[in-house]
Amino acid sequence: MIADSPLANARDPGATVSKSHRFTLVLAGNPNAGKTTLFNALTGLRAKTANFPGTTIECRIGRAHIGGQPVTVVDLPGLYSLDSSSPEEQVAAQAVRGRLSDHSRADAVLLIVDATNLERNLFLVSQILELQVPTVVALNMMDMAEEHGLQIDPAKLQLELGCPVIPISARYGTGLDMLHREIARLAASVAEPVGFVPPKPACTGCSGCPFQARYAWTEDVSSRCVAHAHETRGRRTEKIDQVLTHPVIGVAAFFAVMFGIFFLIFQVAKIPMNLIDGFFAYVATFAAQHLPEGLWSSLLVNGVIRGVGGILVFLPQIGILFFLLSLIEDTGYFARAAFVMDRLMRRIGLPGKAFVPLLSAHACALPAIMSTRVIEDRRDRLVTILVAPLMTCSARIPVYTMLIALLFARSPIKASLTFTGAYAVGVAAALTMAWVFRHTILPGESKPLVLELPHYRLPSLRTATLQMLDRAAVFIRSAGTVILCISVGLWFLASFPRIKAPSPTASPATKVEAARDQLEHSIAGRLGHSLEPVLRPLGFDWQIGIGVITSFAAREVIVSTLAVVYGVGSDVAEEHPDSLYDTLRDARRSDGKPVFNTANCFSLLVFYILAAQCLPTQAVTRRETGTWKWPLLQIAYMTGLAYLAAFGVFQVLRHFGFA
Amino acid sequence: MPESSAIPGRGEAAPPVTGSLVRLPELEPKVCAVIRRVEAEDDSMDRLKALGICIGRQVELVKRGDPLIVRVFGSRLGISARLADRVLVEPCAGRCECPDGSKATT
C-alpha cells in the first residue's frame, strides 16, 4: 500500500527536520504550462508517486542533485489561482505557502510559466510572489514563443517581478543548466525572499472583482516585456479545432481515436500477456513437479503463483493504456474530447471528462478508476468511479466466450450479436446507474464545463514512458498485495476441509476426479450447496454456485472452476477450451436434462456483465476515495443489480420455454 | 463607438458602460467585447475568473454552441453555455486588439 506520510518520506528516514532537512523545492504552475516535462527533466526516474497526507490527492516526489546539493522536488497539481475551491488546487496552494505536511515544509517555489501565454500565467505569479517566499520563475516554452513571433525580454521581466527569471524549454532541455545554477544558488543561501512589490490596484474594492486589478497588472507587465512581431500563435490549433470540436465530426474523431487505442491495447498487449501467462504456467508446473505433492505445494501453485499471475497478466494492458493516454493528453487532444463529449454526458449527469475513464474501463476498470483524477469535482468523480466497473473489461471476455460458445456454437452471427449485446448491456447499465446515483446519493448537476483548450503540441515519449512506469508501479503496489491475500484466501476456501489426496502415481483421470471431489467437499463447495436456494431462481445449480463464489475476487476464475467441477481438469480446459465447452454442453442434471440451457446461459451472462466479481477494483476504489464506504457500495449495488437482472432474464426466458 | 473605449482601463475601474450589453453566448463570433458584468457568483464563476473571464477583460467568441469556445488573452476556453449565459459583455467594433496578433491581421 501507499505510505501514509510519503511527504515525510521524501526526506531521509529518521532524519530530524533541522539537521538533515533536504532542500525542498515545490514545482507550481498553471495546468498545461509544462510542469510534468520540467519535473521529469529535473528528476528523471528518481521519482515516485505519493499522496498528500490525509488526502487522496497525488503528487510526484523526486530527488535531484543540483549543483552538488541534494534537492527534493515536489510536483504539485496544476493551479490557476491560489484561492480556488478545488481540493487539488487547495493542496497545491498550501504547499506553495510552504506547508507540505505536519513534518515537512517547502523551502522554495519553482514557478513554471508558459511564455506563450504570459498574461494569464502572470496572474498566479503575482499571487505567489506576494507570499514573499523564495521563488525562481522558469519561463517555459520559449521555443514555441519564438516560433510564433513573440519576443520576450526575460531581463525586463526579472526586474518587474523582483525574482530570477530563467528562459527555458523543458521539452528540448534548453536553459536547464542555467535553471540548475539558479536553484543551486537558492539552495545554498537558503534564499532570500523575493523583492516583489504587489500590484497596487488604483481603486481596491470599488469594482467588486479582486481579479480585475491583478489582471490589469499582468497586462501591464506583459505589454512591457513582450514584443509582438508578426505573431502566428494559435492559427494551426484553431484550424485543427474547427474539425475536432465540431459537434458531429469531433465526436466521430474521438471514437476513432479511442478505437485506435483499444486496437493497440488488445493487439499489442497480447504478446506480453501470453509471455506472462506462459511464464507463470511454467513456474506453476515447475513448482508442482519439484515440490513434494501436498498442501504447501498446492498453496504455492494454486494460491500464490496463480493469484499473482492472474493479476500481472493485465499489466501490459494497463501499461499500454497509460502510455497512450499520456501521449494523447500531452498533445492537448483530451481537452477537445472532453469538450465534444460534455453535452452528451451531461444528460446523464456526468461531465465530458468522465468519458475517457469510462471508455478505458473497457480494457480494465483499475486504470479507468485511477484515471478519474482528471475530473475535478468530487461528486462527478465518485459517480464515474462507481459505474466504471460495469463496462465490459477484458477479464469478462473469457467468461462471455465460454457462455456464448455454449449458447450458439454453430451460429457465428448470433454469437457475435450476443457478444456485442453484452458490451451494450454493460454501457447501458453504467449510464443508467450514473443517472440513478445523480438523482439519489450524489445529487446535483455535474460541474459546468470550464476548460482550457491548450495549443496542440507534439507529445513527449519520455513523459509517456515515465507515466506508464509510474502507473504500473502504483497498480502493483495497490492491487498486488490485496490480490495475493485474496487468492490465498480463496485457495483456502476451495481446499479445506481436506479429503484424502490421490496417490502421486494415480492416473490423470483419478486425479481430476479427486480434484472435483475435493472442491465439492471444501468450504467453497459447501457454500455453493447452501447458496443453491438463493441461486436457483436465476437458474444456477450448486456447481455454478461454486463458480460464482470462487470467482468473487476475479471473474475469469469461473471458467477454470467449472472445468474442475465438471471434471475436465483445469489444465485441459486451458489448453483445449473446446473440450471444456463440449463437457459443459453434455453435462446432465439428475433428471437427464442438460445443465446449461438457453435460459440459464443468458442469465449467467447477464450476471457476469453486471456483478462486481473483481476485488482489485474495490482495492483501487478504496485507494482513490479514501474510505471503504464507496467500494462496499460498489460491490453491493453491482451484485444486487446482477442478481435482479439475471433473475428477470431467467424467469422470462423460462416462461417462454427456453429452460 | 470610438475604438479606444474598447480597451479597458489599466488598473482603474472599468470605463462606464456606453453600449448595450449582451450575454456572452449571444455575442457575434469574431467580434471583440469587454466583460461588464458577471451574475451569480459561485465556485464555477471563480474558476472562470481565474482563467481570465473577469470584468474589464476583452473576450471574443470563437465558436458558438454548447459548450462554446471563447478567447481571452491568448488562451482558448471551452465553457458550458449555461455558465457563459451569466456573463454580460459589451461588444465593440472589430476584432480584439489584445496582444494577440493572430486577430489583428484579419
Mean pLDDT, residues A202-215? 63
Q: What's the pLDDT score for residue A178? A: 93
Is pLDDT larger for residue A509 or for residue A96? A96
In the predicted structure, residue A345 carries a pLDDT above the cut 60: yes
Q: What's the pLDDT score for residue A635? A: 95
Q: What's the pLDDT score for residue A428? A: 93
* pLDDT tens column, A246-290: 989 998 998 888 888 878 877 888 888 889 888 888 888 888 888
Q: What's the pLDDT score for residue B93? A: 67
* Residue A550 belongs to some domain of the structure: yes
Strand duo A165-167 + A135-140: pairing = parallel
**A628's grid cell:** 471503504
* pLDDT tens column, A415-457: 888 888 898 899 999 999 999 999 999 888 788 888 899 888 8
Question: Do residues A87 and A112 touch, judged by C-beta distance below 8 A?
Answer: no
Q: What's the pLDDT score for residue A291? A: 81
Q: What's the pLDDT score for residue B39? A: 85
Which of A36-45, A70-79, A481-490, A632-641 shows the lowest per-residue confidence on average (mean pLDDT)?
A481-490
Put simply, the answer to whether B73 touches A453 (Cβ < 8 Å) is no
Q: What's the pLDDT score for residue A543? A: 84
Q: Tell me the CATH number at A219.
A: 3.40.50.300
The residue behind cell 530527488 is A63
Final residue in a domain of this structure, among A539, A564, A590: A590
* Residue A344 belongs to some domain of the structure: no
Question: Do residues A543 and A527 touch, judged by C-beta distance below 8 A?
Answer: no
Mean pLDDT, residues A119-133? 90
For every residue of A410-436, which 3-state class applies, written as one string? CCHHHHHHHHHHHHHHHHHHHHHHHHH
ipTM: 0.78
| Residue A341 forms contact with B (CB below 8 Å) | no
* pLDDT tens column, A567-613: 666 666 666 677 778 888 888 877 778 888 999 999 999 999 999 99
Domain encompassing residue A509: 476-590
Put simply, the answer to whether A117 touches B101 (Cβ < 8 Å) is no
CA A77 to chain centre: 16
| Best residue of A113, A217, A219 to probe chain B, by most B CBs closer than 10 Å | A219
Residues of chain A with pLDDT > 70, as a percent, come to 91
Q: What's the pLDDT score for residue A573? A: 64
| Best residue of B43, B68, B83 to probe chain A, by most A CBs closer than 10 Å | B43
Final residue in a domain of this structure, among A549, A569, A590: A590
Residues of chain A with pLDDT > 90, as a percent, come to 25
Put simply, the answer to whether A450 touches B13 (Cβ < 8 Å) is no
Any bridge partners for residue A113, and if so which?
A139
Q: Which residues of B touch A332 (CB under 8 A)?
A: none
Q: Which residues of A touch B8 (CB under 8 A)?
A: 216
* Residue A354 belongs to some domain of the structure: no
| Best residue of A81, A89, A215 to probe chain B, by most B CBs closer than 10 Å | A215
User: Average pLDDT over chain B, rounded to whole?
Assistant: 75
Is pLDDT larger for residue A493 or for residue A164? A164
Q: Which residues of A touch B58 (CB under 8 A)?
A: none
With bands split at pLDDT 50, 70 and 90, how would you rate the model's confidence at A122? Answer: very high
Final residue in a domain of this structure, among A232, A262, A288: A232
Mean pLDDT, residues A132-157? 89
Query: If interface means Cβ-Cβ distance under 8 Å, which residues of chain B face chain A?
Result: 8-14, 38, 43-44, 46-52, 54-57, 62-63, 65-67, 69, 72-80, 82-83, 99-102, 105
Q: What's the pLDDT score for residue B99? A: 42
Q: What's the pLDDT score for residue B96? A: 57
- The domain segmentation of chain B, as residue ranges, is 19-104
Which of A139-143, A486-490, B84-88 shows the lowest per-residue confidence on average (mean pLDDT)?
A486-490
In the predicted structure, residue A12 carries a pLDDT above the cut 70: no
Low-confidence ranges of chain B (pLDDT < 50): 1-14, 98-106
Cis peptide before A497 (omega within 30 of 0): yes
**CATH number, domain B19-104:** 2.30.30.90
Q: What's the pLDDT score for residue A572? A: 63
Q: What's the pLDDT score for residue B102? A: 37
Q: What's the pLDDT score for residue A509? A: 76
* Pairwise CA distance, residues A549 & A464, whole Å: 39
In the predicted structure, residue A302 carries a pLDDT above the cut 60: yes
Q: Which residues of A80-119 are buried (b: 16+ CB within 10 A; e: fewer)?
A: bbbebebbbbbbbbbbbbbebbeebbbbbbbbbbbbbbbb
**A525's grid cell:** 463447495
Domain tally, chain A: 2
With bands split at pLDDT 50, 70 and 90, how would you rate the model's confidence at A4? Answer: very low
Query: What stretches of A522-569 show up as alpha helix (H) in DSSP?
Result: 523-535, 542-550, 557-565
Which of A242-246, A247-251, A401-405, A509-513 shows the lowest per-residue confidence on average (mean pLDDT)?
A509-513
Which of A69-73, A124-128, A362-366 shows the lowest per-residue confidence on average (mean pLDDT)?
A362-366
CB pairs under 8 A between A and B: 152
* Residue A94 belongs to some domain of the structure: yes
What residue ranges in A223-348 does DSSP mark as E strands? 226-228
In the predicted structure, residue A10 carries a pLDDT above the cut 70: no
Q: What's the pLDDT score for residue A139? A: 95
User: Average pLDDT over chain A, rounded to whole?
Assistant: 83
Mean pLDDT, residues A352-368? 87
